[in-house]
Structure 1
Amino acid sequence: MRVGLLTREYPPDVYGGAGVHVEFLARELAGLVDLEVHCWGEGRGVGVVRHRPWPVLDGSNDALRTFSVDLSMAAALQGSDLVHSHTWYAGLAGHLAKLLYGIPHVTTAHSLEPLRPWKAEQLGGGYALSSWAERTAIESADGVIAVSGAMRDDILACYPALDADRVHVVHNGIDTALYRPDPGTDALRRHGIDPERPYVLFVGRITRQKGVPQLLRAVREIDPGTQVVLCAGAPDTPEIDREFRDRFQELGAVRSGVFWIPQMLPRAEVVQLLTHAAVFVCPSVYEPLGIVNLEAMACGTPVVASRVGGIPEVVDDGRTGLLVDTDGDFEGNLARALDSVLADPAAARRMGEAGRARAVGEFGWDAVARRTAGLYEEIRKQA
């Protein structure tokens, strides 16, 4: 079966969970199907075709530039037996290929535009276009993959016209050979982090979805002896970038040991930072699954995360970490949960060990790829 895998992000240009998902899924799928990846970028490699927005649209709204990439992808998919798109950035390409070549289209929903209204701040009028593209792709797809049970519920709530039988849950995965405890501390020292002092770690984009403003307020209240390490980049808008910088400066004025690492680090450095964190924090206000929590768990680190979306399907509350309610005093709840883990290193160690065991036992990418390839076969038979 010739499968076209369609995505915005693909190595070396990976900046979010959807890109991580596609990277590892593609690696495992390549042994199960005849796979060709279509992504944004320049050039072409073995099994990878890169597409760039049309130059005539340089400076135009990002949604229009995205649609030009989708047209390029659709034109290149002739001969495919099935296409599998990821996110609204590639969904329209999958839908057009379905219509143009009469082949099944599978789409994976990593997030949903109706549940991310703050995207209007980033895309302006393009948010209406991204929402239209997502709705069109999802409602017309032969199969929709949700990365969690909670995400499946959200898909059906946002798109009630969609036949529930076409929505399938396939959880995100984790490569536990790459994400595993690393005893080294050279990456910590390189970034000025004191390995002898505990630190809270955040890894993610600077976006309202990830709860970054709430986190910066919450960590003002935690144990003053704790360092705070923020691996945070790719701001959605200049406005949230400025807000982050202002709050970061305010935080640094009231406590020591506050570090901001804005650049995308090599995976080996991220693994080391995850390994030595006293606690990993994921304060998202919307999260279909939260693959970064799996990465932290695989490195043997306890997690404090918000009780939203698919996160409770990953973080076992009280066993691999603590879940925090976002309603009420979210920032206070977050600070208290972080202090609870920081105050009991023995319990934190047990949580980290349980998290590693859960990641290894339940979220391997080989299982994710087999389930996905099996779904391809089912959908082709029905088409």
Structure 2
Amino acid sequence: MSYQNLPELDNANAAVQTMGVDLQMVSAIAGSDLVHSHTWYANMAGHIASLLHGIPHVLSAHSLEPLRPWKAEQLGGGYAVSSWVEKTAYEGAAAIIAVSDGMRKDILRSYPDVDPAKVKVIHNGIDVAAWQRDEKDDVVRSLGIDPDRPSVVWVGRVTRQKGVPYLLKAAASLPPEVQLVLCAGAADTPALGAEVNELIEGLKAQRDGVIVIERMLPRAELIQVLSHATVFACPSIYEPLGIVNLEAMACGAAVVASATGGIPEVVAHGETGLLVPLEQVSDGTGTPLDPEKFVADFAAAMIEVVNDPARARAMGEKGRQRATDLFSWESIVEQTLDVYQSVLPQ
């Protein structure tokens, strides 16, 4: 069933509009044995349904509001609302599924009143049958990518947590023959969009092969882009798991990523790619303690892989195998059912 924002809340803060949608969901959950919500957007629906209908609430944790303080730029006071929703739901949930061990630690640090026994780790997964290497080059050529040149590819929303400015600064050091391909969604704020655009224009003034794709590519097209990547770059400063790394690995791309959050549980350093150390301030922003060092280290890691195409291809093959062995949906379904059984009346 699809729910829309309540017309009465059309002019309300986005967080309040979300709560209006949540309240519409509650009655429809009557008669269920269990309710499972994902992220704060649906957490309040799950929490109220649990109270109203007397059923256990399981929630999956993909991100945490206390570790995304930049959202105040988007939501204003709504960020305080979303934070309250999340805290209330986490403390009242029967079980919490963390998408990585790193995420589990973040939950317990952010919400010390949560019982550690109810926080279970189940990694997110991907459909490895759908995400497979595509050697054809019709799509990449149509996007302006030269399949005969090495490329570094980044995919994601332009948000603070994705670390795009650090990648753009690091890309200035890439060998001249290397293309930088940015599959970029809309920026979270005009200020961030302006910052990123300025860096892109500066990079284009220094080198060719900077390709910006400002639309969400259909899966088939994205798969071909990832399949032709020499390196998939993930410079995130906050990433509970990093499912985009799994998608790149399944397509046979070597991954260079920041060693933060759940990323080290996905990318095997030296085998499926390289992890770049990242020391961060402890104020919740994820900002590198030494941004210039992080940029230099990220550049060095990308250069190390793009300069050795045979190694990059071998890393990509191992990445495909790792995605298949450890992150398929079959095992994730079984683990999730176990969590359900643990909170249902026996």
The TM-score range, normalised by the shorter chain, is: over 0.9
1: CA distance, partners of 2:6 / 2:169: 41
Q: How many Å apart are 1:185 and its aligned residue?
A: 0.9
| Structure 1 partner of 2:242 | 290
Q: Counterpart in 1 of 2:220?
A: 268
Quote the residue 1:368 is aligned against. Answer: 332
1:218, distance to aligned residue in structure 2 (A): 1.0
Residue 63 of structure 2, aligned match among 80, 104, 111: 111
Distance 1:351 1:244, change over 3 A: same
From 45, 50, 58, give the equivalent of 1:98: 50
Alignment-derived partner of residue 84 in structure 2: 132
Name the % identity: 57
Alignment of 1:145-294 (within 5 A): 145-294=97-246
Q: Distance in 2 between matches of 1:275 and 1:75?
A: 45
Task: Mark the runs of 5 or more structure 1 residues left unpaired by the alignment.
Answer: 1-48
Q: How does 1:304-319 map to 2 (within 5 A)?
A: 304-319=256-271
3-state SS, counterpart of residue 51 of structure 1: coil
Q: Which amino acid aligns with 1:197?
A: R
Q: Is residue 330 of structure 1 aligned with residue 294 of structure 2?
A: yes
Q: Cα RMSD (Å) of the superposition?
A: 1.0
Displacement of 1:52 in angstroms is: 1.1
Shift of 1:59: 3.1
What is the rounded CA distance, in whole Å, between the counterparts of 1:107 and 1:153 in structure 2?
16
* Match 1:339 to one of 280, 300, 303: 303
- The structural deviation recorded for 1:60 is 2.1
* Distance in 1 of aligned mates of 2:345 and 2:99: 23
C-alpha displacement of 1:276: 0.5
TM norm structure 2:
0.95
Deviations 1:237-291 (A, max 9, x none): 1221222222211111111011111111100111111111010000000111100
**Is the partner of 2:2 in helix, strand or coil?**
strand
Shift of 1:220: 1.2
In structure 1, C-alpha distance between the alignment counterparts of 2:8 and 2:196, rounded to whole Å = 33
Structure 2: which 5+ residue stretches go unaligned?
280-289
Structure 2 Cα separation of the partners of residues 73 and 231 of structure 1: 34
1:314-371 CA-to-partner distances (Å, cap 9, x unmatched) read 1000010000012331111111100000111111111111111111111101111121
**d(CA) in 1 for partners of 2:336 and 2:42?**
18
Q: Deviations over 1:137-170 (max 9, x none)?
A: 1110000000001110110011110111110000
Tell me the SS of whatever aligns to 1:50. Answer: coil
- Return the letter of the residue paired with 1:300: G
The CA distance in 2 between the partners of 1:380 and 1:130, in whole Å, is 28
Give the secondary structure class of the aligned counterpart of 1:234. strand
Per the alignment, do residues 220 and 354 of structure 1 end up closer, same or farther by CA in structure 2, a change over 3 Å counting? same
TM-score (norm 1): 0.86
State the match for 1:64 in structure 2.
16
Displacement of 1:98 in angstroms is 0.3
- Report how far residue 54 of structure 1 moved: 1.0
Cα distance in 2 for residues equivalent to 1:82 and 1:179: 31
The question of 1:348 aligning with 2:312 is answered: yes
Does the residue aligned with 1:256 lie in a helix, a strand or coil?
A: coil
How many residues were matched structurally? 334
| Cα separation, 2, equivalents of 1:189 and 1:364 | 31
In the aligned structure 1, how far is the partner of 2:202 from the partner of 2:24?
46
Question: Alpha-carbon deviations, 1:66-110, whole Å to 9, x = none?
Answer: 111111111221111111000000101100100111111000010
- Structure 2 equivalent of residue 77 of structure 1: 29
Q: Which of the numbers 254, 272, 279 marks the counterpart of 1:320?
A: 272
Cα distance between partner residues in 1 of 2:209 and 2:26: 49
User: How far apart, CA to CA, are the structure 1 residues paired with 2:12 and 2:173?
Assistant: 43
Q: Comparing 195-204 with 69-78, which one deviates more in the overlay?
A: 69-78
SS in 1 for 2:20: helix
